[in-house]
Structure 1
């Protein structure tokens, strides 16, 4: 059955009708927008708009279907506000001037009458103005009334009670003003100023009263705490934004003063009994902060939980601190910090619980800041042994670290590191019970469980090193201990670098071993494990952690690798105290890092380990030279043994990604050898020639040829120049021409066999061997035959390069010709310059700049043409 009308016609009909509906809708929306704008108040000088037509010829101002936004309300009358503000300020200044300056010209009755009359009028006027809906004017007069009440208080003190104590009078006046403005603000609810002013005045009566009564610091602290509690209640329940903001500021100020007062009294207490009362103040403040966090919004609740946790630690730790020696004060506070983790068992709001956990983390971080300088001293102390290599093994580990550190004051530092490491190890093993609670505290992209495992490994390693230093173990024991630690870290790095599945067992074992050194930390971690309110998160943690670890080395493996490299550097420096220790340590490090590089799979980790092995091998070679009694320049050729091994190893590895880092590490050893040989030219020429041989050996491989070939040529040529200079040869051409001729013949044969070969490879070494030494000699030659012959040869070489379009002869010959010409013309240029007026060179330079600027585009095109021409040469 066919449709009537056909589907195509019906579709066209529907499209036309929809288009008409859209057009009509746009017209109606435009008319509505005009009506809304017409109803808004206009400025007096605004032009009158004519009513727009509503016919079909009207073009809509907005796209079809767009709903016009409602017009914004008119801006506040800024001019009126400015006038009211200026008027209020002028009246305030007049009142102050009257009170302070003109007060003495009136009697006591007149003064009281004037102030009372003006104050009452200022207080009564806002009520009348609010009835007439003049709110802005009422606010300005209320501000004037506020200043007048302050002046009234000052006047009463100056006239009626001049002998009264200032603090006492101020406390009473603040209480009266707070009550007055609170009542006034409640009576005139539309004013915004009175209630915040009442909150401000209410801050001072208790504090000033206690201060005036000569109360002890703890009583003042209780007064501050009471006011902070009141401020917190007002901030949570107060009416109006101004009231809550003022109360919030008061809460921060009074609460901070309370905590500082309690903490100061707790730290200065001489006995546990003396620290009880400050601890009670801090505990009460913690309870108040936690109660406020229960009702506060999320962000403030987390802050309240953190304050409560820190106050509780300060209270309990202060009592325990007074009972232990000074070196153990920090561990006492540290043991109180993990106790806060029990918050996961309490049914607190989640944000408040996060705040308490944040406080626990802050306590732990503070303890680490106190303990880590000792670890840094252990790692960096052996640097001083570089100045006295093999001076003899010190009596103990501390002798190699120096006596700058007060090790007796750090006796408890290893325990701090061990406790924190144990806690992190426990968290790594049983983290899922806390992950949902603490995850928002972690930085974006950081997995909390991985960070805990890495921290456990790092802090456990530091705890062992610092314990060895504080106990003063013998030097051989310290060296053996550090070697074992480096080996263990390398094992963790190798086992964990292959992925999460391979590394989890080793990381767990390392964390468990670290946890054994800090049972207290493990206990706190275990207490967290049984959290009932968050027990439902246990199933989500392991799977997430395992998925996160796949695809690369785990955080524990990376941390172990970094620590292994840093520990190896410190161990190598420590071994410099004794010759036997140096050989044993450097040999062990070379073997350990090389073996770890063979066992690991990720390329980056393997490259780091291989480069470290090369570095330790180079250092071991240098020690051999030192044992043989060789001078630094005599030891330079011996240092090239390791670079030679890396070249052979690179040929064996071929295109393996680790080959290039290994060869570059060997190249650094060659640079060290060149630096050692630099003071003696004959040895420098020998070392440069040997480096050229190594570079030529690397250039045999096609993947290294583009770089190693040029490097070999430069090294050989440089070695030749240095050798000629060391022999004080005045005619280098006798030695260089026999090399140049065969080199050019070989280059010509190479170009005939391979026309695409670069002219720098074919002719560059041969030309450079003669031209450059001859140029160096000719530059200081006062006679004319050598420059003339060298210039002629350079000219011929330049012309041949231009004729056959060879880049190397053209550039080398042109550069030598230009320098020879400059050398020959330099005396005449100096004479001419001395005869010219002094203003002429700047003028010529200015003209040159103008010419270049005027033809700048043409010069750019010429430069591009020259570049393209040189690029087309071989």
Structure 2
């Protein structure tokens, strides 16, 4: 039998064991930190003594508990060295710039020079003793002191020298000195990168001191970038390569930006050619780096810079030789020409970068054409406010100044480029998604070019109308052909283009009556035939809905041409839902029939909206729409439509009664109640378990509740009497057939009607009694209720159970 210590003793044991685990973990972490520092300094580890305390400068013991160390010795050492170097640097700056005591600038320069030589020489013995980190800190201090020496020399020897020229010479000297110092002491990591940083300044500052122009300054920057690129590619030390690469990227960006600005502001081809030469030089440097670097992402980035600089250089020259509206197409042409390198033997990362650079002018050109394209389509909507105003001279009313033929030409070039790209990469299995995107973009761009053509060329009205109509039909039948060729994505793309052109043509045709009827008829026939030719259910449904839209537009336009009022037009529009109902009944595909019926229902809604202003016509329209819905509900799969048919019939009756100035609510509710009770009765015959609240509750409430509200505000006696008799009959029927809904609704309405009718007399009787009698009667009533509370509860439970057993 095992025993357990008391809880206090067990807690003490657990705390002791946890403390031992923490001490063990701290010991292992300290040992690991020491081993890491030993490996970093590349010296053999000191053997651990088996007994006795370790020396003060040695590693921590391998075994035995010790206080937890919050930081490793190397990190503490580095922090101390960095802080010491910073403090010495601040002291040197204060000594040089602020002065020390009464010593002049010359004396300070001499002292500073001596200290500099000492700081640069101390790292040598420190490295021999293995104090590499300390040597690195002192060497960094020495480099800072050399900068201060250069400043002191300027103040002492050449105080009147030009600042930019002196800084250029000084930075070159410092770069050479630091490079020699770093080469002599290769184990120091700071001097050589510092020499690279200093080497970024001499050429640019020298050109600036010589009052050179922007072109010469850019040449100086590019020369420095070229030197940095060579260093980044040839030198093996990573710190030097990273510093040189960073300098090349920064100065290269500045040079590229400056050269681009010179190209865009050039006034003639000669000046643009000078700027283009600078851009091509930058492109050559970037391309050389892309070809030499083994890192694929960096190679791609450099190639992209080279390609973009080439496009800017050639496009800038072409820009000065063409009108302003052709500037973007000129750069696009250069970008398209750059795409030819995709099929060359260059490395794959380089080809990717050049292709990405070519995509930039393509994207810019696409964005540039977008406003004109949107205006070409959306601008036609202005004809909706000027219906049948007469044949205009131009298709686009009040159109702003456009870029002219440059827009469709640019879109055609983009379409050709997209199709060519599709043909080039369609056999590449990993890039099949890009091939599909290019294949879909080509027809869209071609359609965009043809859509923008009327606005760009300012075509007359008839030509523009014919262009949009023909483009709509061509796109629709192109979608049909592509669908038969098993190209579903392209089929959807062309279908969308065709429907957009169809909408534009329909809006444009609103200028004259003949154009409206001709175009709408052509679009109706075109969509209907295209729907019949398609085999895909989704595309057939879209085309069927479009055909329904054009048919609805025709049924609205025909009465309008005969000057019929809107409520008469509504009756003509109902021909559309009739046709869609008959057609949907013959179709066997639900994917087509359901959208077609929804489109027909939308046309019926339009007919109802047109007849709202005339109550008799609205009632007739609602009734006819109800007939259509009832005919649809005759189909076994459309039984739920019967509810909509009932609602439409009820609404038609209500509108007709309102037109006859009938205000009695029973006239509106009794037809609904009769229909609902009939439906409920049939439902109860099919489902014996159905609740009376489901079968009869809605129908009874439709009349009882409005009549009850009217009876309470009716000063006459006929409505309360009839309502009370009806409620009594319902209560008796519900009790006889054991139905909850008639019993509860009838009994409640009967009680409320009786209360309303007897209330005046009760008030009169209460007013005739003494004032003490009502409180006395209330007290007696409370006593009686309290005396028979239990019996009343039992009776209530029996009544609840009786109601629960009813249907």
Same fold? TM cut 0.5: yes
Does residue 493 (structure 1) correspond to residue 479 (structure 2)? The answer is: yes
> Displacement, 1:222?
1.1
Contact 1:721-1:773 at 8 Å conserved across structures: no
Query: Over alpha carbons, which structure has the higher Rg?
Result: 2
**Equivalent residue, structure 2, for 1:737:** 670
**Equivalent residue, structure 2, for 1:356:** 354
**Equivalent residue, structure 2, for 1:431:** 424
- 2:104 is aligned, of 107, 127, 130, to 107
Contact 1:397-1:473 at 8 Å conserved across structures: yes
- Distance in 2 between the 1:811 and 1:603 partners? 52
**Equivalent residue of 1:161, what SS?**
coil
Does residue 604 (structure 1) correspond to residue 597 (structure 2)? The answer is: no
Contact 2:222-2:255 at 8 Å conserved across structures: yes
> Displacement, 1:85?
3.2
Does residue 172 (structure 1) correspond to residue 165 (structure 2)? The answer is: no
- 1:331 is aligned, of 312, 329, 332, to 329
Deviations 1:125-146 (A, max 9, x none): 4444333333333343344344
Does residue 403 (structure 1) correspond to residue 399 (structure 2)? The answer is: yes
> Displacement, 1:741?
3.9
- 2:217 is aligned, of 206, 220, 238, to 220
Contact 2:731-2:744 at 8 Å conserved across structures: yes
**Equivalent residue, structure 2, for 1:280:** 277
Within 5 A, what are the aligned runs for 1:645-794? 645-678=579-612, 683-706=617-640, 708-725=641-658, 727-737=660-670, 740-741=673-674, 743-745=676-678, 747-755=680-688, 762-763=695-696, 766-767=699-700, 769-771=702-704, 774=707
- Distance in 1 between the 2:732 and 2:164 partners? 101
- Distance in 1 between the 2:156 and 2:718 partners? 111
- 1:568 is aligned, of 485, 493, 502, to 502
**Equivalent residue, structure 2, for 1:382:** 380
> Displacement, 1:805?
9.5
Deviations 1:33-76 (A, max 9, x none): 9x9999746796997389xxxxxxxxxxxxxxxxxxxxxxx967
Change (3 A) 1:820 1:135: farther
Deviations 1:687-735 (A, max 9, x none): 44333333222222222213x1232333333444454455543312145
- Distance in 2 between the 1:768 and 1:279 partners? 86
Change (3 A) 1:635 1:118: farther
Change (3 A) 1:343 1:654: closer
- Distance in 1 between the 2:182 and 2:191 partners? 5
> Displacement, 1:466?
2.1
- Distance in 1 between the 2:210 and 2:277 partners? 22
Contact 1:497-1:605 at 8 Å conserved across structures: no
Contact 2:196-2:243 at 8 Å conserved across structures: yes
**Equivalent residue, structure 2, for 1:446:** 433
**Equivalent residue of 1:478, what SS?**
helix
User: Higher relative contact order by CA 8 Å / sep ≥ 6: 1 or 2?
Assistant: 1
Change (3 A) 1:619 1:241: farther
Contact 2:229-2:289 at 8 Å conserved across structures: yes
Contact 1:371-1:410 at 8 Å conserved across structures: no
Change (3 A) 1:694 1:240: farther
Deviations 1:796-822 (A, max 9, x none): 97998899898987999999999999x
Does residue 85 (structure 1) correspond to residue 102 (structure 2)? The answer is: no
Contact 1:797-1:813 at 8 Å conserved across structures: yes
> Displacement, 1:147?
3.5
- Distance in 2 between the 1:499 and 1:814 partners? 72
Unaligned runs of 5+ in 1: 1-32, 51-73, 501-552, 825-868
Contact 2:89-2:141 at 8 Å conserved across structures: yes
Deviations 1:550-582 (A, max 9, x none): xxx433222211111222222222222222222
Does residue 242 (structure 1) correspond to residue 231 (structure 2)? The answer is: no
- Distance in 2 between the 1:580 and 1:775 partners? 59
> Displacement, 1:782?
9.0
- Distance in 1 between the 2:357 and 2:751 partners? 74
- Distance in 1 between the 2:181 and 2:305 partners? 35
**Equivalent residue, structure 2, for 1:48:** 64
> Displacement, 1:783?
9.1
- 2:466 is aligned, of 466, 475, 480, to 480
Contact 1:717-1:765 at 8 Å conserved across structures: no
Contact 1:699-1:705 at 8 Å conserved across structures: yes
- Distance in 1 between the 2:414 and 2:134 partners? 62
- Distance in 2 between the 1:663 and 1:353 partners? 54
> Displacement, 1:792?
9.9
- Distance in 2 between the 1:307 and 1:789 partners? 93
**Equivalent residue of 1:703, what SS?**
helix
Within 5 A, what are the aligned runs for 1:577-588? 577-588=511-522
**Equivalent residue of 1:658, what SS?**
helix
Contact 2:379-2:396 at 8 Å conserved across structures: no
**Equivalent residue, structure 1, for 2:794:** none
- Distance in 2 between the 1:700 and 1:391 partners? 46
TM-score by length of 2: 0.78
Single out whichever of 666-675 and 41-50 deviates more from structure 2. Answer: 41-50
Unaligned runs of 5+ in 2: 1-24, 35-58, 758-802
**Equivalent residue, structure 2, for 1:827:** none
> Displacement, 1:749?
4.3
Single out whichever of 757-766 and 277-286 deviates more from structure 2. Answer: 757-766
**Equivalent residue of 1:138, what SS?**
helix
Contact 1:278-1:315 at 8 Å conserved across structures: yes
